């Protein structure tokens, strides 16, 4: 069976199972929103009972969420949550923590230096690079617009 790329693409599209888009979006929204709600709850508790400012509470809440995500990744639970929620676990800081922890876990057999040390940011590295670049570019554009339009 000899097929060109277009024929093969039509063949695959006709036989691939359809994703329940609404259900996927709803699960992503609920789980991602739940993660954000949990973070807000931690912030409120820290502000009320530990006397922290909102900024300090937010910082500690981020640290707690990263720790929990790495712990859940290490024991294999985060992947099941991500499979259920799809993109809902990727957007909050927990998705970034999972990406870093997964890379470290996958490469630990190669040793700490050439395995974990060298490959820990293989997934998260592009996010850091392009996120930082986009932030810097946005800053330059904002600065130019501020000068040009005097806001």
pLDDT tens, residue order, the chain (151 aa): 677 888 888 888 888 888 899 999 999 999 999 999 999 999 999 999 999 999 999 999 999 999 999 999 999 999 999 999 988 887 768 888 888 888 888 787 888 787 787 777 787 778 778 888 999 999 999 999 999 997 6
**pLDDT per position as a tens digit, 108-124:** 788 878 778 777 778 77
Query: Exposed, middle or buried: residue 55 (CB in 10 Å: 0-12, 13-18, 19+)?
Result: exposed
Token pair recorded at residue 75:
């024991």
Instruction: Note the residue count of the chain.
Output: 151
Report the alpha-carbon distance of residue 80 to residue 55 in Å, rounded: 32
Report the alpha-carbon distance of residue 78 to residue 61 in Å, rounded: 18
Token pair recorded at residue 63:
């640290």
């Amino acid at each position: 069976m000899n097929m060109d790329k277009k024929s093969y693409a039509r063949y695959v599209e006709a036989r691939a199972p359809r994703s329940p888009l609404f259900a996927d979006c709803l699960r992503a929204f609920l789980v991602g929103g739940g993660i954000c709600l949990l973070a807000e709850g931690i912030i409120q508790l820290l502000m009320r009972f530990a006397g922290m400012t909102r900024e300090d509470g937010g910082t500690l809440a981020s640290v707690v969420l990263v720790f929990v995500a790495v712990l859940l990744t290490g024991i294999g639970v985060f992947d099941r949550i991500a499979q259920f929620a799809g993109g809902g676990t990727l957007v909050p800081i927990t998705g970034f923590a999972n990406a870093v922890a997964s890379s470290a876990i996958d490469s630990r057999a190669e040793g700490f230096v050439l395995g974990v040390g060298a490959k820990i940011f293989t997934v998260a590295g592009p996010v850091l690079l392009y996120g930082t670049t986009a932030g810097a570019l946005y800053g330059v554009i904002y600065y130019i617009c501020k000068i040009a339009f005097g806001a």
